[in-house]
Chain A
Amino acid sequence: MKQMHLVATLICVTSMTSAAVAQEIDFATDIAPIFESSCLHCHGEDEQEAGLRLDSRVNMLRGGDSGLATIVPGKPKKSYLMDVVNHVDEEMAMPPDEDKIAQEEIALLEKWIAAGANWPGQMEEVAREKSDHWSFQPVTRPAAPETKSNDSPIDAFLLNKLSERGLAFSKRAKPRALIRRASIVLTGLAPSPEEVQDFVAASEEDGAGAYASLVERLLESPHFGERWAQHWLDVIRWAETNGSESNMYRKNAWIYRDYVTRAFNNDKPYDRFLFEQLAGDTIGQGEATGYMVAGPHVPIATVGQEPTARRQARADRLDEVLQTVGASAMGMTIGCARCHNHKFDPISIKDYYAMTAVFEDIEYGSRFPELADDHPQEVRGAEIRAEIAKLREQLAEYGPWEEHWSAYRDVYFAPVTTKEVRIQFLQKSCFVDELELFGPQNPEVNFALASSGTTLDTDEEMIYNKNKGVSRVNDGNFGTESFAAKTQEGEDRKPWVVLTFTQPREINRMTISSNREDFFDTEYLEKLNTGHVANYKLEVKDSDGKWQQVAATPQYNNLNKKNKGRAKVMAKVQTLITQLYDEGPKIGFVGRFVEPAKSFVLGRGSPENPRDEVFAAGLEELSGDLGLDATASGDERRVAFANWLIDKQNPLTARVAVNRIWHHVFGKGIVTTTSDFGKAGAPPTHPELLDWLAAELMEPSTSSQSANWSMKHLIRSMVMSKAFQQSSHPQEKALAVDGDAALLWRYPPKRVDAEVIRDSILQASDCLDDTIGGKGYRIHNVKKRYAQWEVVDNHSSDTWRRMLYQERFRRVDDGIFTAFDFPDCGQVKAKRPVSTTPLQALNLMNSDFVVNQSQRIAQRALKDTEGDKALAVDRCFELLLGRPPEKQEREDCLAMVKEKDLSLVCRALVNSNEFAFVP
């Protein structure tokens, strides 16, 4: 050790001395003139192209927008300056559009950097400034202003601001408006006529008490979780298809949606909620990790064969993860730092790539989620597996057998020790994405893996093409990247593969498949691969060098014929396998894990331009060092990052969360740019209120019963405020001062979401199946692999569930509600825009759904009123608008009923402004 150190020092000293001896570099005479003549015009005091100044050493250490250090003292090779003057990358060659500077000058720069980039008078400056932007400052709980009537802190902060502008709250809203507003905001469903009646009656007795119980009832409603899950799924643009060309369905991705609904219903503390979505696999909450793969991705099958395109595609996939985390949890546009330092916020390109290192073990795909041992699916799964194990003992008596696990075949045979294994296919063509060999000793160890040294041989001439090479057989990757071979024309020889171990191994089991991903990852495709494998003969080489058959496809049927008992047991096993998939843990598209690769800063965002290696970390500005290096396992990285994110000292997490909740309760965030708390975002209208809410989320002060980070507590505080309970009616004077009611002098009326329209219609017709959770309802066809999805049924009884459960496919128009700003789930959308278009009108007037439901609502109303048309009109108003009609309205509608029928009245009501706005 000591010796090595000495040698290193010697080399160092020697090189320095030789440089010094060869030529002493003097900054003023040798270097400054180069910058002066070739660089400072664009990178000096007057202009800072690409955010770079070359007139101070500290700026060069920091680098420009590229995020790459212009100079790294002592390391010319790591200094970006040397790359650009040497025109390494044509697109980033300096000076631009000119020849290189003189070779002697380049040599001088190199020597100067090698010698430590000495710059007299500037050697002390190294400090990096901290941002003074508001959102990066710690959260402290401000004292609420004092008010006359002992208002809640939320109201006190708001009133304080209002009074500065000569405004005050509006009067309390009427009970009908209040229950409609609270029900839609909290559960996404309009109240039923009976709920309205009860509330109106109770309000006459005790307005405040009735409202408080209403809020408690709504918070406890299982529909609360559905509503708030929808908001969260929006932010992370969660969808059940990949996007991209084939836009394939993500199998059982909905288990994540159920997780989110449960989390809100059970009031899972927000810090736990975030932690589980980043590292739930470590604590038996595996379904939660669907969060990280919520965004779109391009499957490898459609990326193409060029290695550069494949590297780019992986970088894009990681970028989608970062966008999700950045926008939803951090309120930061991290993606800006992918190619250069963030222009506005203290996020460097190094921060970006350190964050990619956090997610290096995440890949888009499915896995069996980690569940608690006592989870009902785990328990049931264990039972079924035990039964299968027992049956296998019986099967072993009859010779080899093959279990059909849909995704793959599982082949069992008597233990045999060998060094070579041969699969001789008995058909003219074969596809194998993976083949695994296991032994009785360590049943989990796959001896076939290339990484264990096992080599392969095959008849190269039979391979379809170079991309389908035999190495696919044991590369550990499942899916479309398969080995494919076929008999040559005019020949008889059929494809085969020989696997040779490094040493003799005892084996008793093989799994083989042609495309395991198809079954595990997707559904609803024509020609879905459900485990097709060409017939084969499995052989091992014995000590005499002869091939001995241990199992073969034709053999299984013969054995069944011979032994009726075997066939019966076999059938039982297959039944149990189906049961296991149904009742045991569900494989679902919640991400799969891969071995983390090394992470580098990618110059200008290109995977072809790796620079310094980086390790998993949060934002440097927010003390994001996690103390990890490249040896940290994937889950260690995510656990550490999650803990950094939910630390109470992190100034972003709680602020972003409370602001988003505020946005959904009041229609507009305190920071209107709900996913951008950076400098380019909007400043808070009520900074103290925002901080008070953030503090209140982390540690409730107004309720002793609420846990830290309780979302229900926060939501309750908001909807119990006077601000929320005000009337929404306009006042001319206030409109003139604060037109969009940003200061909340009234409850700002807002359009309801697409989901509220659809769900409330179904509720009014009494068609709504309000089952919570589970697989969604289908509206699309079963499609060809590379076809676009088509909507085949968006209105019949199979679709009568809450729209949260409508198949959420990327960029597919559902034929009705996409026009209502239902998200396309491509890019992160902090919130839905609100459009008003004639296409919305056409959809809501003429779609089969509305026409059919209008009839059903009318039928229900007539039934409820025993055919009395006048009462039925009243009933329709109550069902859809939560109020009886006024006299003139009743007359208008009755005229319509007499001329035609009640369903037209319902059609008009469904289209009315009153139905489309939260009062």
Chain B
Amino acid sequence: MNNSEKISLHGRSLLNRRGFLSTAGLSTAGLALTSMLSADGLLANDKSHTVSGQTPLRPVIDPNQPYLPRPSHFDSKAKRVLVVYLPGAVSHIDTFDYKPELAKLHGKKPPGLPAVTFEGPSGNIAKPFWDFKPRGETGKMVSDLLPNLANQVDDFCFIHSMTTDTSAHPQGENFMNTGFTMEGFPSFGSWVTYALGTENQELPAFVAINDPRGLARSGKNNFGNGFLPAAFQGTDFSAKNPPNNLHRPGSLTKDFDRKTVDLLQRLNARHLQQYPGDANLAGRIASYELAGKMQMSVPDVMDLSGETAATLKAYGVEGGSELRGHYARNCILARRLLEKGVRVVQLFNGSDPAGGNGITNWDSHSDIKKTHAMQAEIMDQPTAALIADLKQRGMLEDTLVVWATEFGRMPFLQANGTGRDHNPGAFTCFLTGAGVKRGFSYGESDEFGFKAAKDKTTVYDFNATLLHLMGLDHQRLTFYHNGLERRLTNVHGSVVKDILV
């Protein structure tokens, strides 16, 4: 047989389904009625289906080419988004939220603070474990814990008035990443992918780069598709580990692998003759061609050998802890993915706590001085280098960068302890890049950093703002599921307009 070339071309032509369908002679009227993902027999834009009184804007998705780029709801600078997620809860009062009052009250227990918090009885106020200094031209006060990120505060937009609904990690992670504390809702990344598809058809639309130590506490929930189609789940790989089953079986040469695919596509082409113009069959044929391309493009993007020594050094690949080295490589991978047009990259800095208390993520119930320092050593330099690299390449102009954690930590210690308990009342996240003010701080926590005091920002507001920055209306980006037009923001949230450029 010498038609393998021909079949490959045939397969490729299927990628352009419109062209394929016209050659297959299928009437477009029939096509228009074939079930679109999520449509469920309901008419899109049917007003009666919305809870908030807004008209839903369901993306029109061809189930067989779910990743084709789709228009945003309105113009936005951000074309892609990087979320650096820090499981375990970073202490805002030891990093970016400067509270001089804590030094004065150190060792005291002022009235009005709770007797019991998440892990149990509370102790006395503790001043920050690191010194704060003014940084950059803005003079933003940042602690010595994160010296590299501190150097770049002029680019950052802080939100100091974040609050959440839960003081438990898994629910907190769910809330930040899926908009609900309960299990099983689609993640932010899957919503964005569902809405916008992706620019590069040869790489996954949404990549979750997990920490070298493993998945965070909510596991796959943080990048899962919930009730959205599986097409929109984050693909899990890192600089070290490729996606599941990417590579052909060890027992097969490339040639024979290709020949199997060709045989498959010949079988499929014959089968298709019995169902002329069937879009579902054609879509599945195309998916095998796409998989073949991914087998080339994913190893390519994972290959850091072309990175300069200067880049490796800047990211801190060598010279630090082994974990920093791994995380730094993941940071470089994140940049490479974004460069190639991957829509959403979610980069984790921390895992579940199976490895021991405080050293697998930012959770610091005891000896915060030591455990936060260990995490910071891993996170600070590579993350700062990643942001600087994106800036230097001009990518911050159209990439949104989010640095987020699930809650803050308490201004006081745990009773008879050396660590800080969970604080859902106030915490800090920051954004930078496309569409966001630079060198700006929004909202305030109270004098202790105990509760959000000014311009309180809920997780709903935060997520509404992220979607807005991606050109999406959080009230109208919906998916019909069990009787509701579901949204990332449930029925809440307003865009924090003050931080937008």
Contacts and interface: CB of A to CB of B under 8 A. Distances in A.
B384 to A, nearest CB: 29
The 6 A-B pairs of least Cβ separation, nearest first, read: A826-B184, A739-B33, A787-B354, A333-B483, A735-B30, A827-B184
Given A811-B224, A837-B231, A245 B483 contact: no
Interface string B232-253: 0101100000011111110110
B354 A904 contact: no
Interface string A809-843: 01111011011110011111110011111111111
Nearest to A846: B245
A892 B1 contact: yes
Interface in A260-279: none
B41 A839 contact: no
Interface string B214-233: 11011111001111111101
Given A738-B33, A838-B291, A846-B249, A829 B168 contact: no
Contact of A333 (B287, B422, B484): B484
A786 B353 contact: yes
Given A245-B168, A836-B284, A914-B271, A812 B219 contact: yes
B267 interface: yes
Contacts of A304: 117-119, 167-168, 422
B220 A904 contact: no
Contact of A833 (B185, B229, B249, B415): B229
Interface string B464-501: 00000000000000001111110000000000000000
B33 A851 contact: no
A305 B280 contact: no
B449 interface: no
A303 interface: yes
B244 A843 contact: yes
A797 interface: no
A236 B218 CA distance: 21
Contact of B224 (A307, A685, A824, A851): A824
B263 A908 contact: yes
B29 A736 contact: yes
Contacts of B219: 247, 788, 811-812
A237 to B, nearest CB: 7
Interface string B189-221: 000000000000000100000000011011111
B66 A837 contact: yes
Nearest to B116: A305
B171 A913 contact: no
B260 interface: yes
Q: Which of B25, B266, B482 has the most CB of A within 10 A?
A: B482
Given A304-B119, A899-B256, 11 more contacts: A316-B182, A344-B483, A672-B42, A826-B184, A827-B226, A829-B227, A842-B295, A851-B251, A892-B266, A899-B259, A905-B263
A102 B270 CA distance: 81
A213 interface: no
Interface in A696-732: 728-730, 732
Interface in A350-393: none
Interface in A879-908: 886, 888-889, 892-893, 895-896, 899-900, 904-905, 907-908
Nearest to B40: A672
Interface string B110-153: 00000011111100000000000000000000000000000000
A681 B42 CA distance: 8
Contact of A751 (B280, B354, B482): B280
B367 to A, nearest CB: 17
B230 A914 contact: no
A328 to B, nearest CB: 11
B226 A826 contact: yes
Nearest to B491: A339
Contact of A836 (B1, B263, B283): B283
B218 to A, nearest CB: 8
Q: Which of A678, A895, A907 has the most CB of B within 10 A?
A: A907
Contact of B263 (A316, A678, A896, A917): A896
A907 B168 contact: no
Contacts of B40: 672-673, 682
Nearest to B263: A908
B288 interface: yes
B294 A838 contact: yes
Interface in B1-50: 1, 25-27, 29-35, 37-38, 40-42, 48-49
Contacts of A784: 354
A493 to B, nearest CB: 20
Contacts of B264: 908, 911-912
Contact of A465 (B38, B63, B121, B290): B121
A830 B246 CA distance: 31
A39 interface: no
A824 B184 contact: yes
> In the complex, which range does the number of interface residues on chain B fall in?
35 or more
B63 A834 contact: yes
Contacts of A316: 181-182
Contacts of B295: 842
Given A298-B170, A751-B280, A336 B483 contact: yes
B278 interface: yes
Contact of B220 (A785, A812, A833): A812
B352 interface: yes
Q: Which of A811, A812, A833 has the most CB of B within 10 A?
A: A833
A742 B245 contact: no
A451 interface: no
B474 to A, nearest CB: 18
A908 B228 CA distance: 29
A88 interface: no
Given A303-B168, A682-B40, A739-B34, A913 B284 contact: yes
Contacts of A672: 40-42
B94 to A, nearest CB: 21
Contacts of B484: 333, 336, 680
Contacts of A685: 41
Interface in A222-251: 237, 243-245, 247
Given A305-B119, A680-B483, A912-B267, A815 B245 contact: yes
Contacts of A729: 274-275
A336 B491 CA distance: 11
A913 B274 CA distance: 12
28 contacts: A298-B170, A304-B167, A316-B181, A680-B49, A735-B29, A740-B34, A751-B280, A783-B354, A788-B354, A811-B219, A821-B230, A824-B184, A826-B221, A826-B224, A829-B482, A836-B280, A837-B231, A838-B294, A839-B235, A841-B288, A842-B244, A845-B261, A846-B248, A886-B270, A892-B267, A896-B260, A911-B288, A914-B268
A466 interface: yes
A846 B483 contact: no
A243 B480 CA distance: 24
Contacts of A343: 51
B183 interface: yes
A813 B119 contact: no
Nearest to B247: A846
A838 B183 contact: no
Interface string A501-539: 000000000000000000000000000000000000000
Contacts of A787: 214, 352, 354
Contacts of A465: 120-121, 415
B285 interface: yes
Contacts of B243: 839, 842
A836 B278 CA distance: 14
Contact of B185 (A816, A827, A888): A827
A221 interface: no
B388 interface: no
Contact of A302 (B170, B221, B233, B284): B170
Contacts of B252: 904
Contacts of B482: 327, 333, 673, 675-676, 827-830
Given A673-B41, A834-B63, A730 B267 contact: no
Interface string A577-588: 000000000000
